[in-house]
Amino acid sequence: GRRLPKLLDHFRMALLRQAVRAAQAPALRAMAPVAPAACRFLAMQPAAAKEASPMRSVGLGEPLAKRNAGVSVLGCAIAMVAVGGCAQGIGQLFAALVVGMARNPSMKEDLFTYTLIGMGFLEFLAIVVILIAGLLLYSE
């Protein structure tokens, strides 16, 4: 019952803020014809009760909190170090394959099968690390 007028008041205030920004911002001069229409819309609606609203009014383009982008980039970079570890592991895996085939050439097929299984595990680890690094990069 009483929540709808409060919601309309918040919407009207957000729309008014956007109209004022559109009229003031030099980059948004092309949107200036929107401002009179928004003001007419605001004038048509009856004003709600004058009591203070417990909800904080947030504009459509206003960020809710300051974003610390540098911290997420550092977290992503630290996580990406593990991809280098995966690459080192693949190098050691194939080095061991070459040594194993040199010592016992008759086990060539089995050693290669085990090498491919180990490489699959390392590639899976690298993909998981890249996904976690992406999560860290785009997290708030």
**Residue written as tokens 């390392």?**
122
Digitized pLDDT (tens) for each residue of the chain, 140 residues in all: 566 667 667 777 777 777 777 767 655 455 555 556 555 655 555 544 444 445 555 556 656 666 677 888 888 899 899 999 999 999 999 999 999 999 999 999 999 999 999 999 999 999 999 999 999 888 86
Closest CA to 17 of 41, 35, 33, 43: 35
Closest CA to 9 of 39, 38, 49: 49
